[in-house]
Each structure stands twice: as structure tokens, then as C-alpha cells.
């Protein structure tokens, strides 16, 4: 096994009924599947690992994703965004600006 260059953590947490939005209920599994298929198509599965993780914080903005080692935090990510994240960021090295977390001012 070789260590990957990047880790993509996708929040898969589910909150109790009535406790608000959660990434698990918001399509995290579909996103992980699409990311993995795209990485397979691009031959990047040795260089990039995708993992589900617990709550990343801003549940109401999910599905939330963080990419290391850069620490790029994405919000409101859907399965339809997987190709752009793979092509632009994980393959091309440039974060997808339109999906980046914006600090509240
Ligand atoms: S449930 Fe995903 S950030 Fe909290």
C-alpha cells in the first residue's frame, strides 16, 4: 500500500429527527459513490482516498467536505459536483471556489 497524496473527508453524519439538517440525509452516500467512480475513471484511486466522517460543524450547509492536506472546506456539495471537484481540485490542484466555505461576517 502506498500512502495517498490527498484525503477527502465527506460528512456522513445523521442527526436525530427534528434536530435539523444533516449531511447523511442530504445525499452524502451518493456524493461518495460519485467521487469514487470519478477517481476510478481518472486512475486516481491510489493518490486520493475518500472517507466518510462524522460531523464537520455547519450541518445546515451540508453536504460538507474537507480535503487534506490543503484543508479546503466545501459546503452544499452534491453528487453533481463530484466531477468538478475531481477534475479541477483533485486532478488539477485548484480548489473549486464556488463550493468553498465562507466565514460568516
Ligand atoms: S451533519 Fe454534516 S456537518 Fe454536521
Bridge partner list, 7: 49, 68
What distance in angstroms lies between residue 22's CA and the mean position of ligand 1's atoms? Answer: 5
Closest CA to 59 of 95, 99, 28: 28
| Three-state SS at 75 | coil
pTM of the model: 0.95
Identify the domain containing residue 89 by its residue range.
Answer: 1-7+29-54+79-93
Is 36 contained in some domain?
yes
How do residues 27-48 score in pLDDT, each as one tens digit? 999 999 999 999 999 999 999 9
Asked whether 75 lines ligand 1 (CB < 6 A), one says no
Q: State if residue 11 touches ligand 1 by the CB under 6 angstroms criterion.
A: yes
Domain count for the chain: 1
- State which of 10, 11, 17, 65 you would mutate to test the pocket of ligand 1, scoring each by most atoms of that ligand within 8 A of its C-beta: 11
**Maximum distance among all alpha carbons in the chain?**
43
DSSP 2-49: ---SEEEEEE---PPTTS---TTTTTHHHHHHHHHHHHHHTT-TTTEE
Give per-residue pLDDT as tens, 3-18: 999 999 999 999 998 9
The pLDDT of 88-96, averaged and rounded, is 98
Residue-level pLDDT at 4: 96
In a domain, 98, yes or no: no
Note whether residue 45 is domain-resident.
yes
Measured from the Cα of 61, ligand 1's closest atom is 3
Amino acid at each position: 500500500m502506498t500512502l495517498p497524496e490527498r484525503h477527502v473527508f465527506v460528512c456522513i453524519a445523521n442527526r436525530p429527527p427534528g434536530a435539523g439538517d444533516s449531511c447523511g440525509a442530504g445525499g452524502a452516500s451518493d456524493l461518495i459513490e460519485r467521487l469514487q467512480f470519478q477517481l476510478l475513471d481518472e486512475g486516481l484511486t491510489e493518490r486520493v482516498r475518500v472517507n466518510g466522517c462524522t460531523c464537520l460543524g455547519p450541518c445546515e450547509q451540508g453536504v460538507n467536505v474537507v480535503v487534506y492536506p490543503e484543508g479546503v472546506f466545501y459546503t452544499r456539495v452534491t453528487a453533481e459536483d463530484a466531477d468538478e471537484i475531481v477534475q479541477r481540485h483533485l486532478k488539477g490542484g485548484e480548489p473549486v471556489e464556488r463550493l468553498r466555505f465562507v466565514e460568516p461576517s
